[in-house]
Amino acid sequence: MFMTTRLIFPASIRFIFSGGVWLRAMLLGTAAVLRAQSLTGHDLADLGSLASGGSSAATDIDDAGRVVGFSQVSGPSPLNHAFFYASGTMTDLGSPGFVSTAAGLNNSGQVVGRVFSLTTSQGHAFLHDRGTLTDLGTLGGANSFAAGINASGQIVGASEVTTGGPDNAFLYAGGRMTNLGTLGGNYSQAYGINDAGQVVGFSNITNNIRRHAFLWENGTMTDLGTLGGTALGGRHSQARGINASGQVVGFSQDVGGMGYHHACLFSGGTITDLGTLGGDESEANALNDAGLIVGASDLNGHTVRHAFVHWQGAMYDLNTALAPLLSNGITPGFTSLTTALAVNADWQVVGIGDYFDGTAHHPQRAFRVSVAMAPPARDWTRYVTGTITALVVAIIASLLVVGARRRRP
């Protein structure tokens, strides 16, 4: 016959080794092991220029990674032409005697922008589709421009209503350009449209002094407001992009009274100040359907500007994340990325950077880069230290609790 022996521990020891204390210690230790997620990047590409050593800018990107923008072309008086970039090749969409810029692109490869005639000194919105350039006309004035296009081929932009008069936002669909009106003032411009046909931009309000971001849907233009503030701050806001969920990004004067612009998110009736990278001003230019926001921000006052990515409440400096990919100014490559203008579903970002070709710096050069959020890193030293510290604290607290219980009458 076997005898069993039961070990009897004092109450204080039993309490210490109870599940509650150990669980709290393990949870605190686990919290210590997880570092904050970080932004990473790869495949930073210089998209080049239509002219040797010329400047360029990437303004939009589709989900296949194709890019549009504008670039200098060769000639005695360098001019900009719209371009389409795919499979490593930059194609000139312009024509001699005209200045052009491409501003928007959809997944069908349709491109929109503006073409300006050096002969007539007038510029019109255009659609470039499978090699054919179509003049979209105007709302009655001499000039217009197109800024965005959705999957259905609906196009937004702005046009003079009368020659020399103020612009009004337009929606172009089915061969017809429709005036979207204003928020009560005489001026408006549209910059973005999603696949549901929701349009965003900005408009003068009634007094024609302040401009507010707007959302236009089914014939109604809604004032998205500003961040508020004092007499100098909070008077202006602007919407630049909208995603499938109806989230809108742009910028607004901040509440500090200095009139500085801060990148902001308009969502669900709330305006969120996205802040800056440490400087005075910032602006958000685009976002994808996942909610990844891109733009540009000052670093210190107004002296230096860097491209940023904003994700889940945090703004990341694209230059910090891509530091290993940047040039030191001795070898060819981008020395800094100054503005991010668009982002696609695969988190490919395009914009403008400062490029060194080995001989000279080009302060405006088109780039494309892939970014990702790295998961929290594990630091086992911090885990062990955190767990031991948490356990010691839990033991002391447990002893105090047991002691207090014993002193009760």
Instruction: Determine the Cα–Cα distance for residues 373 and 39; give it in Å rounded to an integer.
Output: 5
- The torsion angles phi and psi of 311, rounded to 5 degrees, stand at -145, 125
pLDDT the model gives residue 304: 92
pLDDT the model gives residue 301: 74
**How do the domains of the chain map onto residue ranges?**
11-34+383-407, 93-259
Residue with tokens 């001699």, as numbered in its chain: 96
Q: What strands, in cross-sheet order, belong to the sheet with 89-92?
A: 56-61, 67-72, 80-86, 89-92
Where are the strands (E) in 47-88, listed by range?
A: 56-61, 67-72, 80-86
CA atoms in the 13 A half-sphere facing the CB of 354: 15
* Torsion sign, CA atoms 74, 78, 79, 82: positive
Q: What is the pLDDT along the chain (409 residues), one digit of tens a residue?
A: 444 444 444 444 444 444 454 445 444 445 444 446 789 999 999 999 999 889 999 999 999 999 999 999 987 677 999 999 999 999 999 998 899 999 999 999 999 999 999 999 999 999 999 999 999 999 999 999 999 999 999 999 999 999 999 999 999 999 999 999 999 999 999 999 999 999 999 999 988 888 999 999 999 999 999 988 544 556 899 999 999 999 999 999 877 657 789 999 999 999 999 999 999 999 999 999 999 999 999 998 788 999 999 999 999 999 999 999 999 999 999 999 999 999 999 999 999 999 999 998 888 999 999 999 987 655 556 556 666 776 666 667 666 655 655 555 5
- We find that the CATH architecture of domain 93-259 is 6 Propeller (2.120)
What is the b/e burial string over 194-219, where b = at least 16 CB atoms within 10 angstroms of the residue's CB?
beeebbbbbbbbeeeebbbbbbbeee
Instruction: Determine the Cα–Cα distance for residues 157 and 137; give it in Å rounded to an integer.
Output: 12
SS3 state at 90: strand
Q: Where are the alpha helices (DSSP H) in 205-255?
A: none
pLDDT the model gives residue 9: 43
pLDDT the model gives residue 72: 95
Element counts in the chain: helices (H) and strands (E): 4, 28
Instruction: Determine the Cα–Cα distance for residues 332 and 369; give it in Å rounded to an integer.
Output: 17
* Torsion sign, CA atoms 75, 79, 85, 88: positive
3-state helix, strand, coil in the chain (%, to 5): 15, 50, 35
Tokens representing 302 are 């107004």
Residues in the chain: 409
Instruction: Determine the Cα–Cα distance for residues 90 and 45; give it in Å rounded to an integer.
Output: 13
Segment holding 19, helix H or strand E: helix 19-33
SS3 state at 183: strand
pLDDT the model gives residue 2: 41
Instruction: Determine the Cα–Cα distance for residues 339 and 317; give it in Å rounded to an integer.
Output: 11
